[in-house]
Structure 1
Amino acid sequence: MPQPTPAAEPSTTVPGASHRMVDVPGGRIHLIEQGAGPLVLMIHGFPETSYSWRHQMSAVAAAGYRAVAVDVRGYGRSFAPGPVDAYRMTALVSDTVGVVHALGEETAIVVGHDWGSAIAANSALLRPDMFTAVAMLSVPYAPRSEVRPTDGFALIGGSEEFYVSYFQQPGRAEAEIEPDVRGWLAGFYTSLSGDTMPPPGTDSPFFVPAGAAMRDRFTCGALPSWLPDAELDVHSAEFERKGPTGALNRYRNVDRDWEDLAAWDGVRLACPALFVGGALDSSTTWMADAIADFPTTLPGLVSSHILEGCGHWIQQERPEEVNALLTKWLHTVRP
């Protein structure tokens, strides 16, 4: 099998990790890698890159695993196809399979955050032969609904527009983000972080009034304690490499996903699983019913944890707690 070729060393690195590019069907994926042992594949969410796993790399490697974090297609140094439908879930699962093959492995434990949680869960659902266990951070597993997603999102928010609906029209959110990528990311990270998010009762940035922009309701002021200026610089530089379109196209495929995954409707995710969420994260509160359904939908669940005072960026806000939970779980599911 051809060996992956090294990528040029980036100006900003994750300590102890190496960077490389690997070939997958249709393009090339950038990843960072550290350690040796069973493969643990980490998948980021919106709007992040492999850098969001910087605190987990050394911990997972030290626990005896081959820690690999990818830039999802459309982000960072990975390829960014043009068509909107190139970002459907089945294509992203194909990328995870391609990465495992490119690394010369046959199986992997997969870990995801935010959209990465959904990619990880669907990788395990569609390819249970390859992905032997799944950990989901912030966004819990939720099986396919009977309602077409865009129809459901259109009913949320009343006179205001739910953010997923706001993201549907190509070019609309890009026009808000592109003039000031760093500032937009700062506001988005700050508004969803446990120590800087708006107090209860404040207008939510997840709902956009007519004629307004999403950023109009972002929290302004100091950055979260977990995000120093230098790290925000890295996040924004990496995100700006490809721009926001590929990242936003993930949201523009929710109906395609619903159609593509119809054959798996009602199928339970049976492999050993872990969930870790933040008590202050909207994903945890909005999807409380999905968490309550874990005994049915995740029969292989090993443990589920809610971290008090924590927001959405869980592996960055609470790296020591997440690392302890993750490595303990990894040892219980080690191939």
Structure 2
Amino acid sequence: MPRRRIYGWPHPPRTEEKSIQPEPTTELRHRIVEAPAGRLHLVEQGTGPLVLLVHGFPESWYSWRRQLPALAAAGHRAVAVDVRGYGRSSKPEAIDAYRMLDLVEDNLAVVRALGEESAVVVGHDWGSGIAAASALLHPEVFRAVGLLSVPYAPPGGPRPSDIFGQIGGPEEEFYVSYLQEPRRAEAEIEPDVRGWLAGFYAALSADTMPAPGEPDPHFVVRGGGRLRDRFPTGVLPAWLSEDELNVHAGEFERTGMTGALNRYRNMDRDWEDLAPHHGAPIKQPSLFIGGALDASTTWMSDAIDAYPTTLPGLSASHLLDGCGHWIQQERPDEVNRLLTDWLATLRG
């Protein structure tokens, strides 16, 4: 298995990060394309081989704002989408319109709408799962896959709702189960979207993550409470300015949270839909980058250890020391360097 590389902490101050960011080769271009969702909003920069960037929860295309210019400067056509249910993309009403198979079809529609035959797909958080499923189901289109924060685990195993229902004690509820119930999380989040997002981002960021012994950062709801009851308060992570938080919050204040949360409400449907691919590896060239402090990499460490079998085309698996969950925003220089170096190998 390719050796995991640990990159040092602390990361450079923001002034140094800005000084070494590449100059954009073109301006950002906003577009709307037709897709099974109805419409998909995307932002693109640069020319060259297509790199499709897929965000996670609770984000938007904007979470890739520091990757678009770097990839464009390296000679790529970088395209960041708003996944269906987010931002300026369509938001179907039916809960089952957010199953994984539909999101994969959206990715295919983007590639076709852009006049391309193939793409490298890179995803973060839920986007990592969408990217992996796209590569698994359509290797003829998605010629390589980059996974950030959430490791690849092949379809199969126990039903997801059964797994999550066993996490926690008799008076505890795992956050995934909490989010699966329609309208429940919306009632908590939507009265104060900005404050909720600030706490959610802080709870999984390296520099604002609760210390051991403080309220559990792993999102267990206790005693019929709310998720936000255990969030850090009054502090933003270093990677997030007030203005950037306003952009993130503005997207959800306009659209509401239901489309984004419906991804969690389809996990059992995905398990059924992908059953024919039980245990299937992704054979295309692949890359994994995770944060050493991210719960996703600790909970799923067995999935990372299984990469020689599940990702036989893996180029490298990187864990960034001292990094939390929002990896491409927390450590943009390192992520940009790892992505562009890997993409360069795909051109040979």
TM-score in terms of structure 1 length = 0.94
Pairing 1:240-259 to 2, within 5 Å after superposition: 240-259=253-272
In the alignment, the residues of structure 1 paired with residue 254 and residue 106 of structure 2 have an alpha-carbon distance, to the nearest angstrom, of: 20
| Deviation of the 1:26 alpha carbon | 4.1
- Could you tell me which residue of structure 1 aligns to residue 331 of structure 2? 318
- Could you tell me which residue of structure 1 aligns to residue 136 of structure 2? 125
1:110 to 104, 109, 121: 121
Question: Identity of aligned pairs, percent?
Answer: 67
Q: Deviations over 1:167-192 (max 9, x none)?
A: 11100000000000000000000111
What is the DSSP-based 3-state SS (H/G/I as helix, E as strand, rest coil) of the residue aligned with 1:233? Answer: helix
| Deviation of the 1:146 alpha carbon | 1.8
What is the DSSP-based 3-state SS (H/G/I as helix, E as strand, rest coil) of the residue aligned with 2:212? Answer: coil
- Could you tell me which residue of structure 2 aligns to residue 204 of structure 1? 216
* Two-structure CA RMSD over aligned residues (Å): 1.0
Letter of the structure 2 residue corresponding to residue 271 of structure 1:
Q
In the alignment, the residues of structure 2 paired with residue 166 and residue 38 of structure 1 have an alpha-carbon distance, to the nearest angstrom, of: 40
- Could you tell me which residue of structure 1 aligns to residue 188 of structure 2? 176
1:40 to 43, 48, 51: 51
In the alignment, the residues of structure 2 paired with residue 202 and residue 167 of structure 1 have an alpha-carbon distance, to the nearest angstrom, of: 23
1:17 to 28, 41, 44: 28
Letter of the structure 2 residue corresponding to residue 174 of structure 1:
E
- Could you tell me which residue of structure 2 aligns to residue 7 of structure 1? none
TM-score in terms of structure 2 length = 0.91
| Deviation of the 1:222 alpha carbon | 1.6
Pairing 1:78-157 to 2, within 5 Å after superposition: 78-157=89-168
| Deviation of the 1:204 alpha carbon | 2.0
- Could you tell me which residue of structure 2 aligns to residue 165 of structure 1? 177
In the alignment, the residues of structure 1 paired with residue 234 and residue 37 of structure 2 have an alpha-carbon distance, to the nearest angstrom, of: 42
| Deviation of the 1:240 alpha carbon | 2.3
Pairing 1:260–2:273 present: yes
- Could you tell me which residue of structure 1 aligns to residue 4 of structure 2? none
In the alignment, the residues of structure 2 paired with residue 334 and residue 34 of structure 1 have an alpha-carbon distance, to the nearest angstrom, of: 19
Letter of the structure 2 residue corresponding to residue 97 of structure 1:
L
In the alignment, the residues of structure 2 paired with residue 145 and residue 195 of structure 1 have an alpha-carbon distance, to the nearest angstrom, of: 35
Letter of the structure 2 residue corresponding to residue 184 of structure 1:
W
Give the total of aligned pairs.
321
Q: Deviations over 1:268-320 (max 9, x none)?
A: 11110000000110001110100000011000000110001100000000000
Conserved in 2, the CA contact under 8 Å of 1:75 and 1:241? Answer: no
| Deviation of the 1:201 alpha carbon | 3.1
Conserved in 1, the CA contact under 8 Å of 2:37 and 2:91? Answer: no
Q: Deviations over 1:86-117 (max 9, x none)?
A: 00000000000000011011100000000000
Conserved in 2, the CA contact under 8 Å of 1:76 and 1:240? Answer: no
In the alignment, the residues of structure 2 paired with residue 307 and residue 145 of structure 1 have an alpha-carbon distance, to the nearest angstrom, of: 29
In the alignment, the residues of structure 2 paired with residue 71 and residue 282 of structure 1 have an alpha-carbon distance, to the nearest angstrom, of: 25
What is the DSSP-based 3-state SS (H/G/I as helix, E as strand, rest coil) of the residue aligned with 2:62? Answer: helix
| Deviation of the 1:334 alpha carbon | 2.8
Conserved in 1, the CA contact under 8 Å of 2:203 and 2:232? Answer: yes
- Could you tell me which residue of structure 2 aligns to residue 289 of structure 1? 302
In the alignment, the residues of structure 1 paired with residue 73 and residue 254 of structure 2 have an alpha-carbon distance, to the nearest angstrom, of: 31
- Could you tell me which residue of structure 2 aligns to residue 307 of structure 1? 320
What is the DSSP-based 3-state SS (H/G/I as helix, E as strand, rest coil) of the residue aligned with 2:65? Answer: helix
| Deviation of the 1:267 alpha carbon | 1.2
Deviates more, 1:218-227 or 1:123-132: 218-227
Q: Aligned in 2, Cα 1:334/1:243: closer, same or farther, shift over 3 Å?
A: farther
Letter of the structure 1 residue corresponding to residue 85 of structure 2:
G
What is the DSSP-based 3-state SS (H/G/I as helix, E as strand, rest coil) of the residue aligned with 1:304? Answer: strand
Q: Which runs of 5+ in 2 are unaligned?
A: 1-25
Conserved in 2, the CA contact under 8 Å of 1:49 and 1:239? Answer: no
Q: Deviations over 1:46-92 (max 9, x none)?
A: 00000000000000011111000000000000000000000000000
Pairing 1:187–2:199 present: yes
Q: Deviations over 1:250-278 (max 9, x none)?
A: 00000000000001112111110000000
| Deviation of the 1:202 alpha carbon | 2.7
Q: Deviations over 1:112-161 (max 9, x none)?
A: 00000000000000000000000000001011232000001000112210
In the alignment, the residues of structure 1 paired with residue 256 and residue 249 of structure 2 have an alpha-carbon distance, to the nearest angstrom, of: 10
In the alignment, the residues of structure 1 paired with residue 347 and residue 163 of structure 2 have an alpha-carbon distance, to the nearest angstrom, of: 38
What is the DSSP-based 3-state SS (H/G/I as helix, E as strand, rest coil) of the residue aligned with 2:31? Answer: strand
